[in-house]
Structure 1
Amino acid sequence: MTLPSAWLRWLVTARRHPSAFLLLVQLGGVLLYPAMEDTQAGRALFGAFGILVLALALWVVNRSASINWIAWCIAVPAVVLSLLSVWAQMPGLLVYAHLLEGALYFYTAASLTAYMLQDHRVTRDELYAAGATFTLLAWAFAFAYSVCQQWYPGSFIAAINPQDPRTWMELLFLSFSVLSSVGLSDIVPVRPEARALVMFESFAGVMYIALVVSRLIGLTTLRTARRDDGPH
């Protein structure tokens, strides 16, 4: 296969399954984040990686029935504030960047959910969208926890260095633990504002499984049953 044809095939696949690329990048971030938090260069890379994820989120929203200009109105100032907080040494802007990024992630997750619920047959892209929506919700609540921690210091404690602010990786770990209802996190919300966010995420995780995942499983099972009951 020649390089142009391979590139063309990659573009066709990306156009058909944008949710898959968003999911892969999000999961890749889980592996990269621990190396990004300890140095200034790593934090700059973290900001660049966040911009990449925001761009992919906009791409995914463009495939759904949501209103694109809303996503752009959230994403553009989020990118500007994120860049200023890292490159212009203005850390006070980071909380507002996280606030906007969290809002965009929630908006994209809602758009993907609407995309999955509007169809009556399960496609491969909808299966990718199910995974991407879960990671988007986990990141969105992690941003919400970050904002909560900056506005209300001492919102979260942990077994290690309990009085220190929790790192991004710790907040993301808490978010995944709460959203999946596994309860394995050692990060504990102690302020009322933090506990309210954790309760909202617990509710969102349960409802996501009940409404979205169970529907996709039901449609897949129904299609299989209809195929088996067809003419022999």
Structure 2
Amino acid sequence: MFEYAGAAGRNRFQRYWAAIREHPSGVLLGAQLLGIMVFPFTDEGGTGRTVISIFGLLVLALAVMAVNRTPATRIVAWSLGAPVVILTVAEAFLSDTPGLTVTSDLSQIPWLTLTSNIFHAIFYFYTAVSLLRYMFADTWVSRDELFATGATFTVLIWAFAYTYGAVQILWTDSFSVAGGDVQLSWFELLFLSTTTLTGTGLSDIAPKADANPARAVIMLQMLTGMNYIALVIARLLGLTLIKFRR
């Protein structure tokens, strides 16, 4: 009886593991959405948020290597991913962010946070490109490619959020938020990125009138969101309809 229960448990685990391996984009999408739900209950720059961030980065790297199974892709993924993980841990223990205040003194620039934001943005943009290559590699739409449409969208949200983080460090006083002018927290940057990419505009955060670099990045994200829906979603939807007709 115990042997039967053990065999059934192993078979169930193998089925779950096979489903995860067959749908890496689905796992990535789930990890991103889980992060959105959990981030509000973690301290800014705390241990909990660091653990969640590292978990998301590992899922990100595994998804990239799963959807693009080439040695070059794996080398680039680990080459970009390893510094990002190290910087994420360093931020938790050696945070150099001078509070949530606006500063124009170059000597007060948090270089560790700035470097981390830049590397994070590069890594997430690379992941988005890898997922796009995966979806455009053939004319057959698999279930995981449908998950990849959502995963790519959330990855782009993360990429632009980190870009905004770098922008507000290099050009302080870039954004205005209800209640005063402060450097935005990570979750506020993520919220701004989500509302911009989705085109909803339901945000109390906006670039200031004289913050041209911030406005330029927001314009690029708006165009990215529109072109993503027009090109990627429309293509996969058309291929899916053709598949069902056949």
TM-score norm. by structure 2 comes to: 0.86
Q: Does 1:24 align with 2:30?
A: yes
Which residue does the alignment assign to 1:11?
17
TM-superposed CA distance for 1:50, in Å, is 1.1
Q: Does 1:52 align with 2:55?
A: yes
Paired AA for residue 245 in structure 2: A
1:142-184: CA deviations, max 9, x gaps? 010111112211111112x221111111111111111111111
Q: Does 1:162 align with 2:142?
A: no
Paired AA for residue 147 in structure 2: Y
Match of 1:173 among 157, 179, 191: 191
Dislocated runs of 4+, deviation >6 Å: none
Which residue does the alignment assign to 1:229?
none
Q: Does 1:112 align with 2:131?
A: yes
**Separation in 1, partners of 2:219, 2:88:** 28
**Separation in 2, partners of 1:89, 1:130:** 34
1:92-114: CA deviations, max 9, x gaps? 31221121111111100110011
1:84–1:90 CA contact under 8 A, matched in 2 = no
1:109–1:136 CA contact under 8 A, matched in 2 = yes
Which residue does the alignment assign to 1:96?
115
Consecutive unaligned residues of structure 1, counting only runs of 5 or more, are: 227-232
Which residue does the alignment assign to 2:237?
217
1:141–1:201 CA contact under 8 A, matched in 2 = yes
2:20–2:27 CA contact under 8 A, matched in 1 = yes
2:95–2:113 CA contact under 8 A, matched in 1 = no
2:202 partner SS:
coil
TM-superposed CA distance for 1:90, in Å, is 4.4
Q: Does 1:137 align with 2:170?
A: no
Consecutive unaligned residues of structure 2, counting only runs of 5 or more, are: 98-109
Which residue does the alignment assign to 1:74?
80
Paired AA for residue 229 in structure 2: I
Paired AA for residue 49 in structure 1: I
TM-superposed CA distance for 1:208, in Å, is 0.6
**Separation in 2, partners of 1:75, 1:162:** 35
Across the aligned residues of Structure 1 and Structure 2, the Cα RMSD in angstroms comes to 1.5
Which residue does the alignment assign to 1:230?
none
Which residue does the alignment assign to 2:200?
182
Q: Give the number of equivalent residue pairs.
A: 222
**Separation in 2, partners of 1:202, 1:55:** 28
